[in-house]
Amino acid sequence: MEQTGSQRVACYDVLRVAATFAVVALHLSAQHWADTDIYSTAWQAFNLYDSLVRWTVPVFVMISGVFFLDGTQSLRQILRKNVLRIVTAFIFWSALYAAYAYFFNKCALSTAVTLFFSGHYHMWFLFMIVGLYLIVPLLRPIAQNETLLRYFLLLALVFNFLLPQLGALLSLFSWPLYSSYLSLSGMLYYHFTLGFAAYFMLGRYLSRKELSPKAARWCYALGVAGLIVTVVMTSYASRRLGTATVLFYNYDSVGVLLMCLAVFVFARRHLNFPSLGEKGHARIRALSRWSFGAYLVHPLFIETFDQFLGVNTLSCNAFFSVPLLTLLIGTLSFLVSALLSRVPIVNKYFV
């Protein structure tokens, strides 16, 4: 699936590890986000951290786009290697989380069975990424043609980001045009460049672009602007609606797109660490390999800490609890993944 050894670009491994810690921060920020007073300091901390790491899932997808859309894997190889691994991992971890809910949360057996088939809350990512893997042979010819790729991304910008953002604003301010927008968008029946396929293709596009320092600085500035817009508008929208809203957290939000652009460009320019040498890069590659297992196991630590130890993001000032728990739970998750990766069969199919 990916390049190895000296051919491998270290920044993608570093970025994958960083994104794994970021997704831990995302889920910790969301732990009490919905049931905390939106006027409280704690909620503002959750909003800040949640906004700050909104790039994590799209960047995972962008990294996959780099390797799959530039690769030569046949559909058969993708199905036998990548899709099979995700399916077996889903079965194993979904069974584990369903058993946890049944034995420790005392849910009904029927609920546990439903949880097994639907998966734990973070497993939606597995369904999504399998969908992208299945259309790789269709997207690859577009991705490898510069003109078609740019056209695809232009359509994605309009239909996947700008129009949904317009709809969010019209909805928030209850403008009369909102009903017309809904009517028009409902008649378009346009889906081709929507969803995470846009990020999948964007990763491939940016991986082949060497930006000038000035262009890179513009990307960083746009990323900061995207973060500010996400934080401010989420706070404003929540107060206007009287309840916490994810209106500007959505992955089709322009603010999130700008943050993803900035993070990806920064990683490509600054996170290759050539001075580390082969041994240092080997350690980074190992952490990168463990990131999938760390992603799958981290909610178990979040829930165990909360349920059995009474430790959560409200245990102390949220501005401190979120980063501290992120570091602790992220590290434990990588350790568990590292241990599981040493177990035959488990390391091939479940992590």
Token duo for residue 168: 């969010």
Cα gap 125→130, rounded to integer Å: 9
Residues shown for the chain: 351
In the prediction, which pLDDT does 7 show?
43
> Positive or negative CA dihedral for 267, 273, 278, 282?
negative
Cα gap 283→277, rounded to integer Å: 10
Residue 4 is assigned to a structural domain of this protein: no
Cα gap 134→68, rounded to integer Å: 11
Collect all residues with Cβ–Cβ distance below 8 Å to 320 and sequence separation of at least 6. none
Write the single-letter amino acid at 322.
V
In the prediction, which pLDDT does 88 show?
98
Residue 41 is assigned to a structural domain of this protein: yes
Residue 86 is assigned to a structural domain of this protein: no
Distance in Å from the first CA to the final CA of the chain: 15
> 3-state class of 33 per DSSP?
coil
Write the single-letter amino acid at 336.
V
Token duo for residue 125: 């990512």
Mean pLDDT over 287-308 rounds to 98
Domain range for 33? 15-53+272-351
Confidence of residue 8 (pLDDT cuts 50, 70, 90): low
Mean pLDDT over 259-280 rounds to 93
pTM of the model: 0.94
Mean pLDDT over 288-310 rounds to 98
Mean pLDDT over 258-270 rounds to 98
If one counts the domains in the chain, the total is: 1
pLDDT in tens, 129-138: 999 999 999 9
Residue 248 is assigned to a structural domain of this protein: no
Q: Is 50 exceeded by the pLDDT of residue 84?
A: yes
Name the H helices within the chain: 10-30, 41-52, 56-69, 75-77, 84-103, 109-118, 124-134, 136-143, 146-156, 163-172, 177-188, 197-207, 213-241, 254-270, 277-309, 318-340, 346-349
Residue 157 is assigned to a structural domain of this protein: no
Cα gap 193→104, rounded to integer Å: 42
Residue 296 is assigned to a structural domain of this protein: yes
Decide: 176 and 124 in contact? Cβ < 8 Å.
no
Residue 215 is assigned to a structural domain of this protein: no
Residue 121 is given by DSSP the state G
Q: Is 90 exceeded by the pLDDT of residue 9?
A: no
Distance, C-alpha 189 to centroid of its chain: 26
Confidence of residue 193 (pLDDT cuts 50, 70, 90): confident
Cα gap 90→324, rounded to integer Å: 29
In the prediction, which pLDDT does 325 show?
99
- Torsion, Cα 314 316 320 321, to 10 degrees, reads -40
Residue 309 is assigned to a structural domain of this protein: yes
Average pLDDT, the chain: 94
